[in-house]
Chain A
Amino acid sequence: MLLKIEKRPEASQLMVYATPIFALILTILTGSFLFHFLGVDPVEGLRNFFIKPIDNTYGATELLVKATPLILCAIGLSVGFRANVWNIGAEGQLTMGAIFGGGVFVYFHDVDSVFLLPMMIVMGAIGGALWAAIPAFLKTRFNANEILTSLMLVYVALLVLSLLVHGSWRDPDGFNFPESRLFSDSATMPILIEGTRLHFGTIIALFAVLGTWIMLSKTLIGFQVKVIGAAPKAGGYAGFSQKKIIWFSLLFGGAMAGLAGVSEVSGPVGQLLPSISPGYGFTAIIVAFLGRLHPVGIIFAGLLMALTYLGGETAQINLGLPVAVTGVFQGMVLFYLLACDVLVNFRIRFTLFGRAAS
């Protein structure tokens, strides 16, 4: 009896949807072992990690608060990934979105207008898109690898933010803390449910998901993105421009990440700080793949990854585990997903020796 991995004639649609679940199950199993070796009862550990954070209304809304930037970044990245454009720098684009959006408030902090917030949102999207335009230019003009350029620009963006909040944008009444002014009411995302932090940014994320879904499935540009990603030569044959798609997917991804940035600073954060994101832009890469680059999948994956942030916090507080537990769980999900994805194109069979088939 031999264990064999053989290629499927056609990619399995069932496995496309089943492997994220396999990955989750394997993560939970490995997580149990991990808890055991850390001296925590696995059942208690998993309960604290996955259930306790959301067993009340406030917890559930917090899940949405954390999922919002993840989903926004991931939906933007998914368009690029489909076109084989590997934008790894959503974190930097998010930061630049926060700078542009927050900058509007810094300069118009004494203006009390209903147009202030919309202006900030638009500028946030523009800021993210501009930051993503740099890798797009370098890629289309010099064929520079966007993975490297977009990633390196993350650190540049973080330093720009740091420079501003330590320098000219520092709150004059803030006792020299590296923070901007607290955003005024007209610069803050409206709260959706009183007594929670659930804000209007979640609605923006939902519309972004819906819009992207329609764009990918029903419009020519969405079709072009998919064709250029799957078979660039066929795209050229159909007359689609690869450069145009590189520009489009980077600008789109940047704009979405920029929206996430501005919705964070004018939402739960409420001001510009040296650090405004616990790596949402990077985790969004996992969200995009776990969600199979599909808008609906990204919603579920975004919620799951948000849960790992909340679960990590609960595990720290209740079980005294280190903060790294969040990253370990996120890493395991991606690792197992990539491993299980072999099953999409391959299947495992048991064969008997000496015969053409079992």
Chain B
Amino acid sequence: MSDTGSSTSSQHPRLELKGITKAYPGVLANDHIDLKVLPGEIHALLGENGAGKSTLVKIIYGALKADAGTIRWNGNLIDIANPHAARKLGIGMIFQHFSLFEAMTVTENIALSMPGRQNMAKLSKRIVEISENYGLPLQPNRHVHTLSVGEKQRIEIVRCLLQNPKLLIMDEPTSVLTPQEADKMFLTLRRLSEEGVSILYISHKLDEIKALCHKATILRGGKYISECDPTVETAKSLAEMMIGTDLKAPKHDNTKERGQVRLKVHNLNMDSNDQFGVNLNLINFEVRSGEILGIAGVAGNGQVELLEALSGEALCKIPEAILFENKPIGDLGPSQRRKQGIAFVPEDRLGHGSVPEMSLVENAFLSAYGQKQLISNGFIDTKKTKQFAKEIVENFDVRTSGVSHAANSLSGGNLQKFIVGREMLQDPQLIIIAHPTWGVDAGAAASIHQAIIDLAAKGTAVLVVSQDLDELFAISNRMAVIAEGRLSVGRSVQELSIEEIGLLMGGTSKSDSQKEFESVA
């Protein structure tokens, strides 16, 4: 940490936490955690799901109240009553789950978080300036509910940057960016750091942390484990500190013969229901038994529409556009597609893949009642459903104090494991997974990846849509890229480099890669 900003205020850390403790019903989320962030320091916060990272940063941001412990800001003991007070101090936060009003525009959302009255026209202009400056394109007049996850995150980042923060908290900010965009953002972050802005950086991408951060604090199971210098640690040693055991990379065999075609999508065209949505344009691909096809792309390029078309939440006019085991399914609804042996893991865990206020038992029933025969004589078989929920929790290592707890009481990664487990235990012939490890830590991600690979090894066809290229490279056999509603030709991962994919993700850049989008009709 030799290059960390100004030396004048270095006697006082920008932020110092001592003994922060926070209990939830059944779980001690933070158990006497200490943390020290110096001015201009990029400080990584590392830990598994449920390690207490999200809770800790919410306390710093005033969104949660600690049960015990003290917070010092530039050496002064303070009480951060609410996010407004935090922002006043100069703390900006980019949440993993967004805090945006869906029915309002980008500008209105940003104006809401700024003190005092705003000149909306001027603000729009500044938003465009900042967003272009940092490579985060945004249309200020669009309504938030029409935006994809990636675009929503851009609002959060721009919103923070507009307020000239002294401490920026970022919860996995690069998970929705292309490698090129991420590199661009690192430049920005380093510049901010040189200007004296401290950054508290949460990520599970260890290489990223090694490249970017000056210091790292590691949490495990709600406890403070250690503080270290990530530049001298290896990715492996960091991961081991974080998980406490040796890290297993997903094992898979790329040489195996692929089976027959399970899913074939042929010249799929689809107009989005949403005026700001992306229309699907001549999509062609197939997924074979035992194969994992990865679809990469920056959020908002037609992933949502493609997933809806595949799950049956949006129906195709031409049933033959989607063939499952040579039978047209384009006009079938989600339950009928499930009946044929297709399972889905949607992008949004809370509210799409699960009902947040309902118990895990009810959420187990949600999509599995048909396949697992959880209805007998017209009545819900509560005992069998409970058993199924317990089976998911045990087989997929979901950490919860019981299956009667609500889905929204679980941490993001644990809920994701639950949803993935629910779909996988239905023995699908084809499983379609959107962003399997978005916002999930290394330990849980590794176990989800291994589960996907094991399922494919048993002969299931797997389609993974993700923005995390490392993930797709680690698990896919073949990869394709979606950009502006069109899909490139799927190619074996051995033939591809991250750079090539990055260029394809750019989409509009008129390069040789344009040929990739020619249809294979």
Chain A residues numbered 239-265 whose CB sits less than 8 Å from any CB in chain B: 239, 241
Main secondary structure of the interface of B (DSSP, over half): mixed
| A and B contact pairs by CB, cutoff 8 A, 8 listed | A11-B406, A214-B379, A217-B380, A226-B355, A227-B358, A234-B366, A238-B335, A351-B79
A354-B77, A355-B77 known; A223-B338 Cβ under 8 A: no
Binds A, one of B62-70, B135-143, B440-448: B62-70
A219-B357 in contact (CB<8A): no
B409-A227 in contact (CB<8A): no
B311-A237 in contact (CB<8A): yes
Specify the chain B residue showing the minimal Cβ separation from A227.
B355
A11 CB to nearest chain B CB (Å): 7
A10-B24, A237-B367, A238-B335 known; A356-B357 Cβ under 8 A: no
A349 at the interface (CB under 8 A from B): yes
B330 at the interface (CB under 8 A from A): no
Specify the chain A residue showing the minimal Cβ separation from B59.
A356
User: Complex formed: what's the CA distance from A351 to B69 in Å?
Assistant: 13
User: Complex formed: what's the CA distance from A31 to B65 in Å?
Assistant: 38
User: Complex formed: what's the CA distance from A349 to B356 in Å?
Assistant: 26
Contacts of B300 in A (CB 8 A): none
A233-B352, A237-B334, A238-B366 known; A9-B380 Cβ under 8 A: no
B65-A349 in contact (CB<8A): yes
Q: Which residues of B contact A (CB under 8 A)?
A: 20, 24-25, 59, 65-71, 77-81, 311-313, 333-336, 338, 344, 346, 348, 351-358, 362, 365-367, 369, 375, 378-380, 382, 405-406, 408-409
B351-A233 in contact (CB<8A): yes
B443 CB to nearest chain A CB (Å): 23
B15 CB to nearest chain A CB (Å): 12
Contacts of B79 in A (CB 8 A): 351-356
User: Complex formed: what's the CA distance from A173 to B80 in Å?
Assistant: 79
Contacts of A236 in B (CB 8 A): 313, 334
A4 at the interface (CB under 8 A from B): yes
A227-B366, A233-B348, A357-B67 known; A238-B357 Cβ under 8 A: no
Q: Which residues of A contact B (CB under 8 A)?
A: 2, 4, 6, 9-11, 214, 217-220, 223, 226-227, 230-231, 233-234, 236-239, 241, 349, 351-357
B65-A356 in contact (CB<8A): yes
Most chain A Cβ neighbours within 10 Å, of B65, B66, B367, B375: B65
A11-B357 in contact (CB<8A): yes
* A238, A351, A356: the one within 8 Å of B334 (CB): A238
A239-B358 in contact (CB<8A): no
Specify the chain A residue showing the minimal Cβ separation from B17.
A356
User: Complex formed: what's the CA distance from A223 to B335 in Å?
Assistant: 15
Contacts of A233 in B (CB 8 A): 348, 351-352
A356-B71 in contact (CB<8A): yes
B356-A239 in contact (CB<8A): no
Nearest first, the 4 A-B pairs at minimum CB distance are A239-B335, A239-B334, A356-B66, A231-B355
Specify the chain A residue showing the minimal Cβ separation from B409.
A10
A223-B362 in contact (CB<8A): yes
A234-B352 in contact (CB<8A): yes
User: Complex formed: what's the CA distance from A227 to B77 in Å?
Assistant: 46
User: Complex formed: what's the CA distance from A122 to B81 in Å?
Assistant: 59
User: Complex formed: what's the CA distance from A226 to B358 in Å?
Assistant: 9
Specify the chain B residue showing the minimal Cβ separation from A220.
B375
B353-A237 in contact (CB<8A): yes
Q: Apart from A10-B405, A239-B335, A353-B79, list 5 A-B contacts with CB within 8 A.
A: A11-B406, A239-B334, A355-B77, A356-B20, A357-B66
